[in-house]
Structure 1
């Protein structure tokens, strides 16, 4: 196997300096299950003291009633963002009832045999609330409810317009120079997205943290996992089973042909998917025997959010806009990096090393050349992802790139070395050693595979007697941190006010009686 050549000198243009990245914003969405004291998934309602899950801007639920989602606003530094996330966790922990805890792993806590005991998220009696619950019911009907108990971290990132203006001014292609800033920005973000997809094996290897699962998660499914201990299944060299075929998968989506080569093609593919019936979903029916709706429609995607992807182009929707309409009207405003497992060793699911690494990687992806991503390369990327998910820590694990196979460590090291100048630039911009420190940590995981999160988790899962033992041990430790975390009086007052406000907003929504839900759904269908 030949050694990959380094191309580091091509990545950072010599005119880029630290002022160009001033004004970057980042926000984090972190998911976590509420777990009962006996280790099983919570059956309780979303705590009322936290406000309405439908209308609260920071504390909501995802697919199931027990799957909480914590959302920071976009902030100007990693430190601020992680602190805000800590505040949310502390607020939530105070309001958990019946000795519940936040489960610290991506793969779920104990689930019983009955799928129905995974309660769908409830958003009240308004049309929009009932619609959201019906969407989740449809997901359960289509893919099973177990899949909806997986947690992840989504890292949202935007770069300032003055960076895009400078990049455009330095373009040599007249067609790119002639684009509006909005279209040029979208063009560059799509380049970032394609490169991020190419480099997702790097993310899975370095921050993957789902090498094992509770046996209960695989109930009723065929699998190739091996017993690690009683009640826990694993693969010896796995890194991120959440990102593999037992995670968020949608066979129908495979046939979508949604491409990331430009905004128009991406939106066309998405629109086709939300409007095209799919025979296996048609066979499930739209309503049950009693006439109660069981899914929104029988299309490949019920709504756009059903499209599972490793990274998404995003724009903040205005009132009444779909995500696609927001993108069409104002172009890409930020990217959502979704291939990130929950770090069980961090009380907030992510630490500054992962955050720093993701930001360096994103800037690397933005500044690197990015050819169109065609089907043949996509297949190779999927092979690479499967290799890393299932056996990324194996001594003979390899990555395919441009017809060559490279040992995974060599491949990872090459890209991390290419990122050194970007880390230095970001350190300079933020007057911090955080970024180069993050890169150093990632390089140490490449040099010594036992330093990866996935390797440590296997070791600790054995030590704690299984998935439940490890998860509950970490949950207990994290609970101590939440209790010690001091919220400022202003932040405490803010969260109390937002909870109250969210319930008032919900009450207004629920007073609207027309149209009734049947008509509302018929209009959508």
Structure 2
């Protein structure tokens, strides 16, 4: 079952290090008023400057808040950071403001020119205007959960020391391992869409008149109707990845290399063309809808599953180089099928999903990863067998008049109230002289506060 790299990791007792990815999270949510309309309030002043705040910024629209965590060594630590920064954001919202818990935006104005781009400086705003000319306003409004995944340096060094004859340098090992993991996530993106898709319908004015969907689907955001470049990336190697994007820019298909928003992105150098020489430092995974059952848009079990997948991709045989483009093209087509299926229906690829879940169960058992992973895999295997237990299907239980607004507002108000309670537990908080959101953010990374993960 193991690849040569996987067998090495297993024999050297490095499984724990292989599973111990650094993780950073980026979670986008729209600010709305208490009626479910996009907020008219500016970026919260208590947080500071939206162009320089490293933890809370904006993306595309002025109302689209993005919480960014520092990289953490464990998924639970990443969630602690996320809950804390999310609470800081909520504490800074204007009276009556809420964070919309769904990936698909609330009702948009009929005249979308009323929407305000994020105020991120002249260059970024010019880019957003050009992007909107090409794609339209609606496509920029869905929100999601992004995971930044970094391989443990000790794993890279172990592979280099033991298999150095197969690689010319440590850099080559590093880029190879990231490429293999990226290929794996692109290959099984369709399964992630099935298991975690949570955007079955759009609110008013997302679609142009006469173009609305005939029925709910599993994930608008992960389909061709949602956000994301329609330009297919190359994942045979880091060099091919860069060359494909640069060709897209040269041909005018992409505005710039920044516009490539594939489901997986190689990250590590701000100058894309230098990436093969400086090395990939982490992967950005962009394939998760917001989970409305969590106040922060993602659950710890989801992070653990993503970490398990990444370990599986490192330790099991990868695709042959001459098969990568073909296999990933098929996988892209499969993802579109899964994303546009009716949420309560079994997926067309149920047998493939079942086989993959069984492989993951065998992998977890062989590595003796523990009961928490067994429980996660059992729950997700049940989603494969029972599509009505998937997030998108569950959301259909709350649809009223072809809308999820009432449900979203109930959730948003509940989460806002819980955040206010949590903030009051922060060391140094005083009702008479409350700390500003900026002070809370500063204190967050110099203290030992761990938010209550039950909220």
Q: What TM-score do the two structures reach when normalised by structure 1? A: 0.76
Structure 1 residue ranges without an equivalent (≥5): 1-6, 124-128, 227-233, 279-299, 399-407, 501-525
Report the CA distance shift for 1:54/1:418 in structure 2 as closer, same or farther (over 3 A).
same
1:416 corresponds in structure 2 to 357
Question: For the Cα contact (< 8 Å) 1:312–1:335, is it kept in 2?
Answer: yes
Deviating more after overlay: 212-221 vs 155-164: 212-221
Greater Rg, structure 1 or structure 2? 1
Match of 1:267 in 2: 242
What are the residue-to-residue correspondences of 1:199-238 with 2, within 5 Å? Answer: 199-220=188-209, 222-223=211-212, 225-226=213-214, 234-235=215-216, 238=217
- Following superposition, which runs of at least 4 residues in structure 1 exceed 6 angstroms of deviation? 8-11, 490-494
1:236-315 aligned at under 5 Å gives the runs 238-251=217-230, 253=231, 258-276=233-251, 278=252, 300-315=253-268
Greater Cα offset, 366-375 or 377-386: 366-375
Q: 1:130 to 1:9 in 2, by over 3 A?
A: closer
1:495 & 1:38 partners in 2: Cα distance?
Answer: 25
- Alignment of structure 1 residues 59-78 onto 2, 5 Å: 59-78=56-75
Among candidates 172, 177, 183, match of residue 183 of structure 1? 172
- Summarize the Cα distance change of 1:190–1:264 in structure 2 as closer, same or farther, 3 Å threshold: same
Provide closer, same or farther for how the CA distance between residues 186 and 494 of structure 1 changes in structure 2, counting only shifts above 3 A.
Answer: farther
Cα distance, 1:424 vs structure 2: 5.2
C-alpha contact 2:18 2:311 (8 A) present in aligned 1 = no
Cα separation, 1, equivalents of 2:378 and 2:2: 17
1:286-327 CA deviation, whole Å, 9 max, x = no partner?
xxxxxxxxxxxxxx2222221120111111x4xxx43443x2
Is 1:365 matched with 2:313?
yes
Of 459, 463, 467, the residue aligned with 2:404 is: 467
Structure 1 residues 492-517: Cα deviation after superposition (integer angstroms, max 9, x where no partner) = 979625979xxxxxxxxxxxxxxxxx
For 2:53 and 2:66, the matched residues in 1 are separated by 11
Paired residues, number: 433
Does the CA-based 8 Å contact 1:51-1:499 persist in structure 2? no
CA distance in 2, matches of 1:328, 1:77: 27
1:51 aligns with 2:48: yes
Residue 348 (structure 1) aligned with residue 283 (structure 2):
no
Q: Deviations over 1:345-381 (max 9, x none)?
A: 1000001111111111111122222223554433322
Contact kept in structure 2, 1:31 and 1:153, CA below 8 Å: yes
Report the TM-score, using the length of structure 2 for normalisation. 0.87
CA drift of 1:414 comes to 1.6
- 1:221 and 1:45 map into 2 onto residues whose CA distance is 33
| Contact 1:90–1:485 under 8 Å retained in 2 | yes
The question of whether the paired residues in 2 share the 8 Å contact of 1:8 and 1:418 is answered with no
Deviates more, 1:143-152 or 1:10-19: 10-19
RMSD of Structure 2 on Structure 1 (CA):
2.8
